[in-house]
Each structure stands twice: as C-alpha cells, then as structure tokens.
Structure 1
Amino acid sequence: MKILVTGGAGFIGGHLAEQFVRDGHDIVVLDTLVPFYDLGIKERNVEIARTAAAGGDGTYEFVEGSITDADVVEDVVSDVEFVFHQAAQAGVRASVSNPEKTTRTNIEGTFTLLEAARDADVKRVVNASSSSVYGKPEYLPYDEDHPTTPVSPYGASKVAAEHYVRVYNEVYGLPTVSLRYFTVYGPRMRPNMAFTNFVSRCLHGESPVIYGDGTQTRDFTYVEDVVGVNRDLLSTDAADGEVLNVGSTGRITIDDLARVIRDEIDPSLEIEYDDPREGDAKHTHSDVSKARELIGYEPSVSIEEGAKRFVDWYRENEDWYDPLVRRS
C-alpha cells in the first residue's frame, strides 16, 4: 500500500513511517522540518526510515512542505491510499504563547488535508488527536463521551480538528478515525518533555525538577503501543467516523515518575519542585474500552516498564540525543 504520513519526521510520525516501511509499504512523508526542537532528531528519524527502506521491500520518499500549503498537500495525497495525519504544532505551552500558529497549523492544516483526501478518494484518514481535548476532568478515567473543555489553545485546536474529521466522514463519506493519544513517550521523543528532562538531569548528576507539587497524574503511553493501533487501522474498516482513546489504562503521579527514573540512574539525587506551568492539565487517565471493543486495542507496556526501557535507550543514544551533550 502507498501511505502518506504527515509530520513523518517527528516523534510518532517517524516511528510510524519506519514501521510501515519495514512492513513493506510505500511511504511518503510530508514534514516542514521546522526546528520546534532540535532538527538533528528529526533528521535521524528520516535517516532511520530511509535505511529501513533500503534494506526491505518498502519505499520511502520525503517531501519538505506544510499541511497548510494546498498545492503541496494535493500533490502528495493524489496517489496514496491511506493518510496518517500526525503533523501539528505541538505543545501546550507553545500554544499559550503563540495561539495563532497553533490554530493555523492544526485547524487550517487539517482542513486542507481533508479536502485533498476527499478529492483523491483515499481509503482512510487517521487523525492524531490528544487527551488535551478533555481539559479539567469531571470524572476519571476519561471515556470518549466525557465533555471536551480544553484548557489550552492546543487542546482547543485538537477538538476543532476532530470535528472537521468527523464531519468529513458524515457529510462526504470520507473514511476517518481520530485517535486521542495520552502523553506518548519512548525513543526519539520530543526532548522538552518530563521524561527526557528527568532522564537528562539525572544522567548529569542534577536533581529532576517537577513543575508543581508532583501530585498531578499522567497516563503515559509507550510509542510501541501507539504504532500498533495505527497499524491495525490499515487492515480493518471498523471505527469509521469514531474517536478512540489510546492510552496505557494506568497512570502515575509526576512525583512517582521522577522517582522511578531517578532510582534507575542515581537514587542519591533529591527531587526539586518549581512553579506549575500554565495550560497543563492536572490529571489524565484513559478508558480504552471503546478501542478495545472496536479494533482490539490492548496496551502492552506499563508505565514503569516503559520508563526503564526509555532510560536504557537514552543511555545508548546519549551522544546524539541528549541536549546537554549536544551543547557541550
């Protein structure tokens, strides 16, 4: 199959492109290579997928461009069968400081992609959404019927994109699915996240810093589970028009996460605390029963096990991945 992965030089998109190539598919990646974080990580994602293509049956093509550019999007969508839409202006705090960029990329870009997919009659668009759409919890765990009251422009943009995706299914018959990811982590993840900050500081003998009192909780999802659920959507027409939670079903306090990582690296370090950051949700916790029922989703990596895997990977790749090493 020929598959387009938007944002395919990024964290999740890079893992998807790599896995699809290894599965023997022909992959087109559309990415702007904007340095929201170190471009070396994105370039590494591209190189890994290209290497996978060179050693297997699949092919890999990289196109530098934006999902807001209608001509570029129309061109790359015109001859693909599936679209995995990962491209976005990510980051809650980035959206608070620059809501205009978040709105343009995440809402207008999604609309541009859907229009091209409708014209090309693609078999399915899989849209990457976020648990940020939920905002303040009225109850936990979140199921897909929970009210969506986001507390950041990023969350609001993802709600809007979900509605466009749903409407294109209901009105135009375009097969679509939206996946609400719950804080995805793993190898080659964005380096300005809690996981990477904790690991980097501990490896350099510095105390991990928690923003807030540490009682906030997160449902962290290992990237391997996210790749698996996306792969499953290539082989089933179930869940068309639906929104599905993709989480680990567990949750951990940020304080406990810092201690798990600290204890893996240097138990003598103290935990430090700083002011909470604007726009961050207090708690996330997923109910994945809908995804389990419709497409058989079963998360396989616990948060504790995933943290240990990530620490091991980080140590092996510190020379090119760690921000403190790269700056030295």
Structure 2
Amino acid sequence: MHLAAISFVGHENDAAFYAVNVVGTTNLLDALVQLPERPDRVLLASSANIYGNTARSPIDENQPPAPVNHYGMSKLAMEYMARTYRDRLNLVITRPFNYTGPGQDANFLIPKLAMHFAAHAPSIALGNLDVEREFNDVQMVCDAYLLLLAHGEPGEAYNICSGRPYALRYVIETLARMTSHSPRIEVNPAFVRANEVHRLCGNPNKLRVLLAKQGAVLTEPALEETLARMLLAAKGRTAASIN
C-alpha cells in the first residue's frame, strides 16, 4: 500500500509534486518488480483531484480527467506511469475524495477550522468560502484501502467517497453550533486559489458493488461525529501547549 505523497495542494514547491508523487512512485514500483517474491497486489493512492472542475456530479471513474493544479497533475501522471507496470504488478488505483480526522496537519482546511474553534480564536483567515467538498472520515478511507488491497480488481481505479458533499459555509456553521463560538471569518486573498476546484463529489457505486460481493460495507461516520473527535483532539493539544 503506497500512500506517501506531497498532498497539500498549496505546497510551495511545484516541482516537488512530481519528484515525490511521480518519480518516487516509479522508484518504489521498480523496487517491487525486483523482489524475489512480488506482492499479490499493490495499492496506489491517487486522488479525486485528477477530475478537476467538471459540471458532472457525482463523478464516477469514467469521468475524463482534467486536473487544474500541480497536485492533481502529478497524481494523474502517476496513474499513467503506473500503467507501464501492469504486466508485472497487480496494481489497484484508488481516488480518495476529501477526508479528514484527528491528527491531520493544520495546513489542511478542516483541522485548521477545528483548532480555531476549539481555542475560541477571535478570527479565522480563509480562502474561497464558496466551495463544496466531501469531508469523509479518515477511518472510512483506511477501511476502504484495506478492503481494496485484499479484493480490488488489478488494473482498475476506484473512487473512495460517500457521495455526500458539504458546503464550507455549512461546516463553519456546524462548528459554531458545536462550540457555541462564532469567530470572525476573514477572506485572505493570498489563500484564494485561481485554479480552485469548486465542487468535488464522487459516485461510490463501483466500490460499493465490489464490497457487496465480499459481504462488506463501509461504515461512514456522520460529519458531526468526525468534527466532534477533531474538536476533542484540538482541545487536548491546546491544553497541552498551555501546560
């Protein structure tokens, strides 16, 4: 299972996306091919960012890719590169949509929000507020990875998603309700991406059909459950920093 990558879309070094996500994966696959006993399956984590901006929603795996940022471009390049190993390795490609949970770096949107709300910060600087994303729980994604590593069809790509998108403004309102705190929301132009993906919602049917054949069903925690765990973790970090 290969999950290592530069995954923060706003990473400052554009070339690093390709050095790590494409060349790094190539090096790994080369090493696997040379093993005396090759693995039964190799799961590669791509990204729903390969789809880019599309009027089609929810997005299934047949949607033509059209990435709009270096992260999405590097993941698509990784997928195409991996095809050259299909005669030697049983590769399963995953395309996870946005997910989050306790422990995610505060560079990412939801943990940043959780930290600010947990600390009752007076204000939060954000980028584009008019976006919609799935914000799935990391545990669901991990369960999907393990099931696909065991049962995924080699050569196939699978969306890992719930098909439930949330507007960012709704997430902010939910956190405000859960913490009884309403910080001032400031839009920082430096955080607004010109190549923003405005809506990203996936079709989970292909994965669900595969898992149903194995008698498996993914547990999909509600957004409020995930946020509650993240707020608890953020409060713990705040208390630790004070002590």
Given the two structures, how large is their TM-score scaled by the length of structure 1? 0.66
Structure 1 residues without counterparts, runs of 5 or longer = 1-83
SS in 1 for 2:176: helix
| Corresponding position of 1:229 | 144
- Check whether the contact 1:165–1:177 (CA below 8 A) recurs between aligned residues: no
Query: How far is the alpha carbon of 1:295 from its aligned partner?
Result: 2.9
SS in 2 for 1:199: helix
Matched, 1:302 2:217: no
| Corresponding position of 2:52 | 135
Matched AA of 1:295: L
Matched, 1:178 2:121: no
SS in 2 for 1:177: strand
Query: How far is the alpha carbon of 1:222 from its aligned partner?
Result: 0.6
- Check whether the contact 2:8–2:107 (CA below 8 A) recurs between aligned residues: no
Query: How far is the alpha carbon of 1:89 from its aligned partner?
Result: 1.7
Matched AA of 1:188: G
In 1, distance between residues paired with 2:91 and 2:211? 14
- Check whether the contact 1:251–1:285 (CA below 8 A) recurs between aligned residues: yes
Query: How far is the alpha carbon of 1:191 from its aligned partner?
Result: 1.5
In 2, distance between residues paired with 1:200 and 1:278? 26
Count the aligned residue pairs: 234
Query: How far is the alpha carbon of 1:314 from its aligned partner?
Result: 2.3
In 2, distance between residues paired with 1:208 and 1:286? 29
In 2, distance between residues paired with 1:286 and 1:303? 16
CA deviations over 1:149-207 (Å, ceiling 9, x no partner): 111111000001112223322xx241111111111200111221111221222224323
Query: How far is the alpha carbon of 1:319 from its aligned partner?
Result: 4.3
In 2, distance between residues paired with 1:299 and 1:145? 25
Matched, 1:157 2:41: no
Matched, 1:124 2:44: no
SS in 2 for 1:271: strand
CA deviations over 1:81-111 (Å, ceiling 9, x no partner): xxx10111221111xx422111111111111
Please give the root-mean-square deviation of Cα atoms over the aligned residues, in Å: 2.1
Q: Which of 1 and 2 has higher RCO (CA within 8 Å, sep 6+)?
A: 2
In 2, distance between residues paired with 1:205 and 1:192? 16
| Corresponding position of 1:211 | 127
Superposition pairs of residues 260-271 of structure 1, within 5 angstroms: 260-271=174-185
Q: 1:291 aligns with which of 188, 207, 216?
A: 207
CA deviations over 1:118-176 (Å, ceiling 9, x no partner): 2222211111111111111130111111121111111000001112223322xx24111
Matched AA of 2:132: T
- Check whether the contact 1:93–1:279 (CA below 8 A) recurs between aligned residues: no
Matched, 1:281 2:197: yes
Matched AA of 1:294: L
Matched AA of 1:280: E
Identity of matched residues, %: 26
Q: After TM superposition, where is structure 1 displaced by more than 6 Å over at least 4 residues in a row?
A: none
| Corresponding position of 1:198 | 113
Given the two structures, how large is their TM-score scaled by the length of structure 2? 0.88
Structure 2 residues without counterparts, runs of 5 or longer = none
Matched AA of 2:72: G
Superposition pairs of residues 98-109 of structure 1, within 5 angstroms: 98-109=13-24
CA deviations over 1:286-321 (Å, ceiling 9, x no partner): 11111111234535112233222221232234345x
